[in-house]
Amino acid sequence: MRGVLARLLLIAALLLLAACTTSKPLPEPYYSVPVTNASLQKDEMSWWVYRYRVNWPEEMEKPDFSIDLLLADSIVKPVLEKYSSRLSWWRFHRRAARKPPGHQFSFLFFSSRETAREVIRELDNSPQLAAVKQAGLIKKTISSDTDKPTMTALEAYSDPSWSPEIQRTWPTFIMGVSAFWLSLIDDIKSADSSSIGDDNSVTDQLEEYRQVDREIAELWEKEGQHSLLHHLGAMFGYKSMLIRW
Protein backbone atom coordinates (compact mmCIF):
# COMPACT_ATOMS: atom_id res chain seq x y z
CA MET A 1 0.00 0.00 0.00
CA ARG A 2 2.81 2.40 0.87
CA GLY A 3 4.49 1.62 -2.45
CA VAL A 4 1.31 2.41 -4.40
CA LEU A 5 0.83 5.65 -2.48
CA ALA A 6 4.43 6.66 -3.13
CA ARG A 7 3.99 6.11 -6.86
CA LEU A 8 0.78 8.14 -6.89
CA LEU A 9 2.47 11.03 -5.08
CA LEU A 10 5.38 10.92 -7.51
CA ILE A 11 2.99 11.02 -10.45
CA ALA A 12 1.20 14.02 -8.92
CA ALA A 13 4.51 15.84 -8.40
CA LEU A 14 5.62 15.32 -11.98
CA LEU A 15 2.23 16.36 -13.27
CA LEU A 16 2.66 19.65 -11.48
CA LEU A 17 6.03 20.13 -13.19
CA ALA A 18 4.58 19.58 -16.64
CA ALA A 19 1.27 21.17 -16.07
CA CYS A 20 4.26 19.78 -18.60
CA THR A 21 8.57 11.58 -30.10
CA THR A 22 7.00 13.78 -32.63
CA SER A 23 7.28 14.01 -36.37
CA LYS A 24 7.93 17.75 -36.05
CA PRO A 25 10.15 18.35 -33.02
CA LEU A 26 10.89 21.89 -31.95
CA PRO A 27 14.50 22.98 -32.42
CA GLU A 28 16.13 23.26 -29.03
CA PRO A 29 19.58 22.99 -27.46
CA TYR A 30 20.08 19.89 -25.34
CA TYR A 31 22.91 21.60 -23.54
CA SER A 32 23.72 25.24 -22.92
CA VAL A 33 27.08 26.75 -22.06
CA PRO A 34 27.05 27.99 -18.45
CA VAL A 35 26.40 31.71 -18.21
CA THR A 36 29.18 33.66 -16.54
CA ASN A 37 28.94 36.94 -14.68
CA ALA A 38 30.83 38.63 -17.51
CA SER A 39 28.35 37.44 -20.13
CA LEU A 40 25.45 38.54 -17.94
CA GLN A 41 26.84 42.06 -17.80
CA LYS A 42 27.62 42.13 -21.51
CA ASP A 43 24.46 40.61 -22.93
CA GLU A 44 22.08 41.30 -20.04
CA MET A 45 20.97 37.69 -20.02
CA SER A 46 18.00 37.07 -17.77
CA TRP A 47 14.78 35.14 -17.31
CA TRP A 48 11.75 36.85 -18.83
CA VAL A 49 8.11 35.90 -18.37
CA TYR A 50 4.95 36.31 -20.40
CA ARG A 51 1.82 35.44 -18.41
CA TYR A 52 -1.75 34.86 -19.55
CA ARG A 53 -4.42 35.43 -16.90
CA VAL A 54 -7.15 33.02 -17.95
CA ASN A 55 -10.79 33.80 -17.30
CA TRP A 56 -12.23 31.35 -14.76
CA PRO A 57 -15.89 32.17 -14.10
CA GLU A 58 -17.03 31.83 -10.50
CA GLU A 59 -19.83 29.47 -11.50
CA MET A 60 -17.32 27.05 -13.08
CA GLU A 61 -16.08 24.63 -10.43
CA LYS A 62 -12.96 23.48 -12.26
CA PRO A 63 -10.70 25.48 -14.59
CA ASP A 64 -10.66 24.68 -18.30
CA PHE A 65 -7.03 23.61 -18.69
CA SER A 66 -7.60 23.09 -22.43
CA ILE A 67 -7.19 26.85 -22.81
CA ASP A 68 -3.52 26.36 -21.88
CA LEU A 69 -3.09 24.11 -24.92
CA LEU A 70 -4.63 26.71 -27.20
CA LEU A 71 -2.34 29.43 -25.84
CA ALA A 72 0.80 27.28 -26.01
CA ASP A 73 0.19 25.88 -29.48
CA SER A 74 -1.47 28.71 -31.37
CA ILE A 75 0.24 31.75 -29.82
CA VAL A 76 3.52 30.77 -28.15
CA LYS A 77 4.71 28.00 -30.46
CA PRO A 78 5.06 30.13 -33.63
CA VAL A 79 7.16 32.65 -31.68
CA LEU A 80 9.12 29.88 -29.97
CA GLU A 81 9.97 28.24 -33.30
CA LYS A 82 11.18 31.57 -34.66
CA TYR A 83 13.40 32.45 -31.70
CA SER A 84 14.33 29.09 -30.15
CA SER A 85 17.94 29.32 -31.38
CA ARG A 86 18.30 32.52 -29.35
CA LEU A 87 16.77 31.15 -26.16
CA SER A 88 19.18 29.32 -23.87
CA TRP A 89 16.33 27.84 -21.83
CA TRP A 90 12.56 28.09 -21.92
CA ARG A 91 9.60 26.43 -20.26
CA PHE A 92 5.91 26.61 -19.47
CA HIS A 93 4.24 26.95 -16.09
CA ARG A 94 0.61 26.02 -15.47
CA ARG A 95 -1.38 26.77 -12.33
CA ALA A 96 -4.97 27.30 -11.23
CA ALA A 97 -6.33 28.12 -7.79
CA ARG A 98 -9.12 30.36 -6.57
CA LYS A 99 -6.64 32.56 -4.74
CA PRO A 100 -4.71 35.11 -6.86
CA PRO A 101 -3.48 34.98 -9.54
CA GLY A 102 -6.14 32.38 -10.35
CA HIS A 103 -5.81 30.37 -13.55
CA GLN A 104 -2.56 31.44 -15.17
CA PHE A 105 -0.48 30.09 -18.04
CA SER A 106 3.11 31.34 -18.29
CA PHE A 107 5.91 31.18 -20.83
CA LEU A 108 9.37 31.71 -19.32
CA PHE A 109 12.60 32.05 -21.31
CA PHE A 110 16.25 32.87 -20.66
CA SER A 111 17.77 35.21 -23.24
CA SER A 112 19.39 38.57 -23.87
CA ARG A 113 17.36 41.70 -23.32
CA GLU A 114 17.27 42.41 -27.06
CA THR A 115 15.79 38.99 -27.80
CA ALA A 116 13.30 39.38 -24.96
CA ARG A 117 12.04 42.63 -26.42
CA GLU A 118 11.47 40.99 -29.80
CA VAL A 119 9.77 37.92 -28.31
CA ILE A 120 7.44 39.96 -26.09
CA ARG A 121 6.60 42.30 -28.99
CA GLU A 122 5.62 39.36 -31.19
CA LEU A 123 3.53 37.77 -28.43
CA ASP A 124 1.78 41.10 -27.83
CA ASN A 125 1.00 41.52 -31.52
CA SER A 126 -0.26 37.98 -32.14
CA PRO A 127 -3.54 38.11 -34.12
CA GLN A 128 -4.58 34.95 -32.29
CA LEU A 129 -4.10 36.72 -28.95
CA ALA A 130 -6.49 39.44 -30.06
CA ALA A 131 -9.05 36.78 -31.03
CA VAL A 132 -8.65 34.95 -27.72
CA LYS A 133 -9.17 38.20 -25.80
CA GLN A 134 -12.21 39.01 -27.91
CA ALA A 135 -13.65 35.58 -27.09
CA GLY A 136 -13.25 36.33 -23.38
CA LEU A 137 -10.88 33.43 -22.67
CA ILE A 138 -8.21 35.56 -21.01
CA LYS A 139 -8.54 38.67 -18.88
CA LYS A 140 -5.12 40.17 -19.51
CA THR A 141 -1.46 39.47 -20.22
CA ILE A 142 1.52 40.45 -18.09
CA SER A 143 5.12 40.54 -19.29
CA SER A 144 8.53 41.29 -17.83
CA ASP A 145 9.95 44.80 -17.94
CA THR A 146 12.84 44.42 -20.41
CA ASP A 147 14.47 47.57 -19.04
CA LYS A 148 15.10 45.70 -15.79
CA PRO A 149 16.80 42.29 -16.24
CA THR A 150 16.51 41.28 -12.58
CA MET A 151 16.22 37.47 -12.81
CA THR A 152 19.74 36.90 -14.11
CA ALA A 153 20.57 33.74 -12.14
CA LEU A 154 19.82 30.51 -13.98
CA GLU A 155 18.16 29.15 -10.83
CA ALA A 156 16.07 32.29 -10.30
CA TYR A 157 12.76 30.50 -10.87
CA SER A 158 13.72 27.21 -9.24
CA ASP A 159 12.30 26.32 -5.84
CA PRO A 160 14.63 27.89 -3.23
CA SER A 161 14.04 24.93 -0.91
CA TRP A 162 15.92 22.65 -3.33
CA SER A 163 19.66 22.06 -3.19
CA PRO A 164 21.78 24.49 -5.24
CA GLU A 165 22.69 21.67 -7.66
CA ILE A 166 19.06 20.86 -8.40
CA GLN A 167 18.14 24.54 -8.66
CA ARG A 168 20.82 25.18 -11.29
CA THR A 169 20.12 22.13 -13.43
CA TRP A 170 16.32 21.97 -13.13
CA PRO A 171 15.73 24.47 -16.01
CA THR A 172 17.16 21.92 -18.46
CA PHE A 173 14.82 19.21 -17.15
CA ILE A 174 11.67 21.32 -17.25
CA MET A 175 12.52 22.65 -20.72
CA GLY A 176 12.54 19.05 -21.94
CA VAL A 177 9.22 18.36 -20.21
CA SER A 178 7.70 21.48 -21.76
CA ALA A 179 8.94 20.57 -25.24
CA PHE A 180 7.62 17.02 -24.76
CA TRP A 181 4.15 18.31 -23.81
CA LEU A 182 4.05 20.81 -26.69
CA SER A 183 5.21 18.15 -29.14
CA LEU A 184 2.46 15.81 -27.93
CA ILE A 185 -0.10 18.47 -28.79
CA ASP A 186 1.37 18.84 -32.27
CA ASP A 187 1.67 15.10 -32.84
CA ILE A 188 -1.91 14.34 -31.78
CA LYS A 189 -3.24 17.15 -33.95
CA SER A 190 -1.38 15.70 -36.94
CA ALA A 191 -2.49 12.13 -36.23
CA ASP A 192 -6.11 13.21 -35.91
CA SER A 193 -5.93 15.28 -39.10
CA SER A 194 -7.13 18.09 -36.90
CA SER A 195 -8.80 21.09 -38.44
CA ILE A 196 -7.45 23.43 -35.78
CA GLY A 197 -6.35 26.62 -37.45
CA ASP A 198 -6.59 30.39 -37.41
CA ASP A 199 -9.51 30.25 -39.84
CA ASN A 200 -11.68 28.50 -37.24
CA SER A 201 -13.48 30.49 -34.61
CA VAL A 202 -11.83 30.52 -31.20
CA THR A 203 -14.79 28.55 -29.86
CA ASP A 204 -14.25 25.81 -32.47
CA GLN A 205 -10.50 25.81 -31.84
CA LEU A 206 -11.00 25.41 -28.11
CA GLU A 207 -13.29 22.42 -28.62
CA GLU A 208 -10.59 20.81 -30.79
CA TYR A 209 -7.98 21.44 -28.09
CA ARG A 210 -10.28 19.90 -25.50
CA GLN A 211 -10.21 16.71 -27.53
CA VAL A 212 -6.40 16.87 -27.77
CA ASP A 213 -6.24 17.45 -24.01
CA ARG A 214 -8.41 14.37 -23.42
CA GLU A 215 -6.11 12.25 -25.57
CA ILE A 216 -3.01 13.51 -23.78
CA ALA A 217 -4.64 12.76 -20.42
CA GLU A 218 -5.36 9.22 -21.60
CA LEU A 219 -1.75 8.75 -22.71
CA TRP A 220 -0.52 10.06 -19.36
CA GLU A 221 -2.82 7.71 -17.46
CA LYS A 222 -2.00 4.60 -19.48
CA GLU A 223 1.65 5.09 -20.45
CA GLY A 224 3.12 7.74 -18.17
CA GLN A 225 4.24 5.28 -15.50
CA HIS A 226 6.53 3.33 -17.82
CA SER A 227 7.46 5.78 -20.56
CA LEU A 228 8.16 8.66 -18.16
CA LEU A 229 8.42 7.66 -14.50
CA HIS A 230 10.16 4.32 -15.04
CA HIS A 231 12.76 5.79 -17.38
CA LEU A 232 13.31 8.78 -15.13
CA GLY A 233 14.10 6.33 -12.34
CA ALA A 234 16.34 4.34 -14.68
CA MET A 235 18.31 7.50 -15.55
CA PHE A 236 19.15 7.83 -11.85
CA GLY A 237 20.12 4.19 -11.53
CA TYR A 238 16.96 2.98 -9.80
CA LYS A 239 18.06 4.60 -6.54
CA SER A 240 15.57 5.02 -3.70
CA MET A 241 13.61 8.25 -3.38
CA LEU A 242 12.29 9.90 -0.23
CA ILE A 243 8.56 10.65 -0.53
CA ARG A 244 7.04 12.94 2.11
CA TRP A 245 3.34 12.91 2.94
3-state secondary structure of 30: coil
Q: What is the pTM for the complete model shown?
A: 0.81
φ, ψ dihedrals at 161, nearest 5°: -80, -15
pLDDT (tens, 9 = 90+) of the chain, 245 residues, equals: 545 444 444 444 444 444 443 344 444 443 444 445 544 455 579 999 999 999 999 899 999 999 999 999 999 999 999 998 999 999 999 999 999 999 999 999 999 999 999 999 999 999 999 999 999 999 999 999 998 888 889 899 999 999 999 999 999 999 999 999 999 999 998 887 555 655 678 999 999 999 999 999 999 999 999 999 899 999 999 999 898 87
Measured CA angle at 125 (ends 123, 127), to 5 deg: 100
pLDDT of residue 91: 96
pLDDT of residue 44: 75
CA dihedral (122, 184, 135, 205) positive or negative: positive
Per-domain residue ranges for the chain? 2-235
* Rounded Cα distance, 77 and 135, in Å: 20
Among 109, 88, 116, 93, CA closest to 28: 88
* Rounded Cα distance, 35 and 196, in Å: 39
pLDDT of residue 196: 60
CB 211 within 8 A of CB 46: no
pLDDT of residue 36: 52
* Rounded Cα distance, 185 and 94, in Å: 15
Helix segments in the chain, DSSP class H:
2-18, 37-43, 66-70, 77-83, 113-124, 127-134, 164-191, 202-224, 231-235
Q: Which residues are registered as beta bridge partners of 236?
A: none
